[in-house]
Amino acid sequence: MVVKDSIKRPLIFAYYVTGHGFGHATRVVEVARHLILAGHDVHVVTGAPDYVFTTEIQSPRLFLRKVLLDCGAVQADALTVDRLASLEKYSETAVAPREFILATEVEWLKSIKADLVVSDVVPVACRAAADAGIRSVCVTNFSWDFIYAEYVMAAGHNHRTIVWQIAEDYSHCEFLIRLPGYCPMPAFRDAIDVPLVVRRLHKSREEVRKELGIKEDVKIVILNFGGQPAGWSLKEEYLPHGWLCLVCGASDNMDLPPNFIKLAKDTYTPDVIAASDCMLGKIGYGTVSEALAYKIPFVFVRRDYFNEEPFLRNMLEFYQGGVEMIRRDLLTGHWRPYLERAVSLKPCYDYGINGGEVAAQILQNTASGKNYTSDKLSGARRLRDAIVLGYQLQRVPGRDLSIPDWYANAENELGLRTGSPTAEMNDDCFQMHSRSEDIEILQGDVLGLSDTMSFLKNLSELDVVLDSGKSTEKRQMREQKAAAGLFNWEEDIFVARAPGRLDVMGGIADYSGSLVLQMPTREACHVAIQKIHPTKQRLWKHAQARQNAKGQGPTPVLQIVSYGSELSNRGPTFDMDLSDFMDGGQPMSYEKARSYFARDPSQRWAAYIAGTILVLMKELGIHFENSISMLVSSAVPEGKGVSSSASVEVATMSAVAAAHGLNIEPRDLALLCQKVENHVVGAPCGVMDQMTSACGEANRLLAMICQPAEVLGLVDIPNHIRFWGIDSGIRHSVGGADYGSVRIGAFMGRKIIKSFASELLSKSCANGVTSDDLEEDGVELLETEASLDYLCNLSPHRYEALYVKQLPEIVLGETFVKKYADHSDPVTVIDKKRNYGLRAATRHPIYENFRVKAFKALLTSATSDDQLTALGELMYQCHYSYSACQLGSDGTDRLVQLVQEMQHSKISRSAEGTLYGAKITGGGSGGTVCVVGRNCLKSSEQIFQIQQKYKGATGYLPIIFEGSSPGAGKFGHLRIRRRLQSKSN
């Protein structure tokens, strides 16, 4: 059907196409085709090749203008997005020449007398349209402010303004024509949903196969990675017997086996997709929409750091059309189990695929004067005070963004609070007797912890899910299916639990040897593990296929299921042969381990878990001769600055130790877990997180001097004092560039201090006498400072009196290395081309150590308003010291400001106050704020008010962390067994 045209004259459309991939250009083709069929002129501004448009549209009303106004996401290869390169390329393409671009586009739009500007989804096109006095509309399933928002974390504070500028540009757009599989796009005021935009078919399945010389009974897989498989080695044995593979985008010099066929670069891929039995590729709008439209099963491999993907993936799987392949199996050729699984699927998408026609009608109506907009505030206003970082904005309850129903359903099924089935801890839901019939506790005690009861109940139901056929339900999670086949129920299972931590005081000073005060959170990670002989392990199909291919019989395999993957861009499962940890008869080096886990970013999370096994092998000489199956379920939210990684590491190592009869003291276990994070994961964290998770106790502060990990004891929290955590919604990562650069700056500062102290000593020795300055300072002190092991052992007054003037505010890495060679930190590397904020990074731990000591002393002082005021003031000072180190964030600053406003309000002053202080926690750059106040109902009410005010300002409803729970050492472990007779229930 052609778009109805009641317009007397042809309309002129200026259609801008983003530079990211062919998928955008192909859907623009379909919309433009319908506009041209209705008699209108379409000027396409694109960087895509002409044939993409001219193959489908042969009309004098199509005008192609070759201009690239944005770059999309820069990919290092077909599956890897380079976040920093993407931002730098966008700056080069769209930011630096912005004024020239705007002037040029305004002049061009006026010259063609455009009636409407359409963008998919070039930000500057909307602003240029506004400057030219022309209406604009966007047609897309994602926007670049959402995609780039996570990337700014990799760049630190650099490029952050890119997100704001893009949001502001989009806000000039009148409304959004929103395609299925969409992401949150808060920069737009109004959205009109349309069906899938899919290119039409030109030839039948039979015609395509006849042209290719392929019989009807031959199975075909089309390899479609966006034209980027160059350099891959494809082998005949990758395919099941009798199959053929059609390769899109192969380079001219690419040699292919006889069962692989190279498609021409200008092949009309919709026809070939529809003629195939399944598709193997990466997820994008074009591939997903065509797979759904033509009911072709899609075997997909995840990309890292492209935030559009989870939404399309969930839609694909909702309609039973997707199978996920592990990247390792893609590159090593273990394709068979995935392809055979794919052809057994029955994709069930039965909705409209005429989105191009519907969108064209809306665009025509808009260009002729119809108004589709409401009076909502623009996105630039709503994004002014918050960056959409990663998936945090839509992962928690209370958000007011438009999320697809199927995405919200997935979130509800996994648990609203954190995306974990064990997140809801309701004592009334899971009474002991309700699961005692299914799970027998052979050793250990649940300590009355309702989240542990919930986890055990979940375990007891896994085999019921598998045996009852529930796995066929549409919304049954992939991770639940994988977990259902994980354990052998005739063998013992060991369960360990480790909480996150709320950083009350100490934070990033831990790596400089500071005293820290940390409280275990109520939220915790549970790990269930089974050590089992390889002949009894229930292997997943692809793992079984890998073993069969080796022809060695059953060998020890590690299999991991991690709950919560549906709400983050990572795979739900990981498996490896334990022999992969060996290198020449010895455990592999940590450097090789980092490379091993970094090969597939969607499975990089496994380094935190599997890394515990390698550390035990290397540090304690443990030999693992049996297979290991693990289920990881964490209610500690990721990226909130409450040590989700430490809780996973500690819970995992505790479970592994229990299953293998290892008696490791909690302190030693924490130090081993730090090695996992420092050396296997590659995150330069201190040890306080792991120590708190392992050694902490409920409702008490763990006092520890991090030199490296000397526990001073547990500090009781006075009954009248309470601590809360409030999440800013801004994703924190200790692996981020900001945290690492501040750590490097602190170690540089220590090196300069030691060097200057040595110089003063040398001068003294050379002269044979002590100058007046040295007499005052003391030779012994200088000797100590010349061999300073931890920066926090330097007192603030010595720092101010002698060393502060020796420290530059900023130093270039190359300049420092030339003079001092190295900074003597084993877990970070100096970037010679980077500037480091040295003085602030050095000053923070020296003063923080003093603040923590004062804080600890105040906790045991007499109860008074002055006590609380002083505690709060120390926290405020810590917060602003973080900011001086460039580790602050807009969100955490806003939360601290809200606490201050509440503290100094007239009501609080008249009632002697209830909230007294707040500070950013952990590694900074987002994450959670810790608040101190009176332990009373009024304080809880004020925390709730701050939560609502923050939501009103940013659109994000913070998670509140309150309560505490025991550390892993206090919990110990459970040895359990499933009662087999309950299967018949």
Phi/psi of residue 705, each to 5°?
-95, 120
Beta-strand pair 12-17/41-46: parallel
3-state class of 711 per DSSP?
Answer: strand
Residue 71: closest CA among 44, 54, 47, 53: 47
Report the first-to-last Cα separation within the chain, whole angstroms: 56
* DSSP E strands, 563-688: 573-577, 582-583, 586-587, 627-634
Say whether the peptide bond before residue 121 is cis (omega within 30 degrees of 0).
yes
How far, in Å, CA of 96 to CA of 632, rounded? 46
The set of residues, in sequence order, having a beta carbon less than 8 Å from that of 778 and lying 6+ positions away, is: none
Instruction: Name beta bridge partners: 443.
Output: 975
Look up residue 304 and give its DSSP letter: B
Q: Does the annotation count 190 as an active-site position?
A: no
Contact predicate 175/189, CB 8 Å = yes
How far, in Å, CA of 808 to CA of 831, rounded? 17
Residue 878: closest CA among 915, 927, 843: 843
Pick the catalytic residue from 689, 727, 738, 777: 689
Axis-axis angle for helices 123-131, 160-171 (nearest 10): 50
The set of residues, in sequence order, having a beta carbon less than 8 Å from that of 827 and lying 6+ positions away, is: 678, 679, 684
Please give the C-alpha separations between residue 281 and each of 66, 278, 339, 371, 396, in angstroms, as whole numbers: 28, 10, 12, 40, 31
Per-residue b or e along 424-433, where b marks 16 or more CB atoms closer than 10 Å to that residue's CB: bbeeeebeee
Residue 512: closest CA among 795, 739, 707: 707
Residue 818: closest CA among 739, 740, 751, 762: 751
Amino acid, single-letter form, for residue 815: T
> Measured over all CA atoms, what is the biggest interatomic distance in the chain, rounded to whole angstroms?
101
Contact predicate 600/328, CB 8 Å = yes
HSE-up (13 A, CA, CB side) for residue 8: 0
Find the radius of gyration of the CA atoms of the chain: 30
- Tokens describing residue 913: 């106050």
Please give the C-alpha separations between residue 154 and each of 104, 132, 177, 511, 583, in angstroms, as whole numbers: 32, 36, 31, 21, 32
Output the DSSP codes for 884-919. Answer: HTT---HHHHHHHHHHHHHHTSHHHHHTT-SEEEEE
- Tokens describing residue 245: 């593979």
Please give the C-alpha separations between residue 646 and each of 849, 868, 970, in angstroms, as whole numbers: 22, 30, 16
705: left (phi over 0), alpha (psi -120 to 50) or beta: beta
* DSSP E strands, 534-638: 557-562, 573-577, 582-583, 586-587, 627-634
Burial class (CB in 10 A: 0-12, 13-18, 19+), 403: middle
Amino acid, single-letter form, for residue 449: L
Contact predicate 38/31, CB 8 Å = no
Burial class (CB in 10 A: 0-12, 13-18, 19+), 84: middle
Catalogue the active-site residues: 689
